[in-house]
Structure formats: C-alpha cells, structure tokens
Amino acid sequence: MSETKKKVKKAATFSTERSKPNILVSGTPGVGKTTMCKKLCESVKTLKLINIGDFAKEHGCLDEWDDELQCHELNEDKVVDELEDIMTEGGVVVDHHATDFFPERWFDIVFVLRTDNTILYDRLTSRGYEGKKLENNIDCEIFQTILDESKESYKEEIVHELSSNNDSDIDSNVQRIVAWLDQWQKDNVS
C-alpha cells in the first residue's frame, strides 16, 4: 500500500473498527495513574500498557531540557507518529498527564484521576518535587486543568473523573474499568 493510502486508512480508522478498545488514563502527576494502570493490566493480561514518558525515552521522542518544568520537552508529533500503528490495533492503556495532543479517534474512554490537594502535596514532596514544579502541579490539580482539557479534547460523555486518594480507590477504579471493558466487548464484538 502506498504511504498516502496508508495515511488515509489510518485517518479513517475509528473505534468501531477495533476489536479491543483503547483507554486513556490521565491526571496531574502523582494522582496514581501508573499505579492504577499497572494493577489494571495485571488484572486484564491482554491489555498493552504504554507510559508516554517511558515510550518517549525509548523511541527518541524527547527534545530539549526545560529548566522551568525540570523535564525534557516532549516531541508530541513524534510520539503520535510512533504510536499510530499500536493504537490502531486496540487494547492499549495509555498513561499520561496530558490529553490534548493525541488524536481524538484513538480513545474509546478517558479516565481522569483526581486527588485531594493535601494528599497530592505529600505524594509530590516525597517524590522530591519542590519550588515552582511542586506549585505548578498542585495548581494544576486545584484548577482541574487536566479534567477540563480532557473534556475539551474528547466527547464529554467518554470522559470520567475517578477519585484516587487511597488504596481502596485504586481497587474500585480497576474494577470499574474491568466492568466497562466487559461491557464494551459485549456491545462491540459479535
């Protein structure tokens, strides 16, 4: 198939053509995305977990160091290009703290984890965050930046907010997603 035809095909691939759904798990750093995603993928062995930070490192998608944010800038276009074929297959859980640069068609559901500010503050300080970086992330959670960004980037009905304050929240969130996956299979795979 020519490159142009491939691109047209990719652009036309919507969720109904996937035999397994794709899930985006987002939220401010420290809310528990990685912890919850790992548990989810332990429960449902067929899911493929992609942590965008790790994926970007492995696939050379990091640009210059950003002194203010204290991290490398992410080359979002390259991440999208590198991930396209994997997402087309379906059955992927993406773990990332931003939602707005992924193609909307990639995801069947978006979960935004939320944590009380005092709990998040303790988690981030024990991770070594301080100064501007700590302040920016706490503000991000206070102003529900990721939730609003997700609702602007995807249909509101597929964006769900989940509490992530304690261990029982992790378990109930995993159960909820597993139940959603079961229902998706019943509704979409004959």
Site residues (CB under 6 A) for ligand DAT? 27, 29-35, 123, 164-167, 169-170
**Shortest distance, position 3 Cβ to ligand DAT, whole Å:** 36
Q: Which residue is closest to ligand DAT by CB?
A: 32
- Nearer CB in complex with ligand DAT: 166/175: 166
**Shortest distance, position 115 Cβ to ligand DAT, whole Å:** 7
- Nearer CB in complex with ligand DAT: 110/170: 170
CA 133 to CA 138: how far, in whole Å? 9
Any idea what the Cα angle at residue 101 is, between residues 10 and 169, rounded to 5°?
105
**Shortest distance, position 169 Cβ to ligand DAT, whole Å:** 4
Question: If you search the block for the tokens 């980037």, which residue do you land on?
Answer: 153
Question: CB under 8 Å to 59, separation ≥6 — which residues?
Answer: 78, 79, 82
- Nearer CB in complex with ligand DAT: 21/29: 29
CA 155 to CA 158: how far, in whole Å? 6
**Shortest distance, position 81 Cβ to ligand DAT, whole Å:** 24
- Nearer CB in complex with ligand DAT: 21/30: 30
Tokens of 31: 């809310």
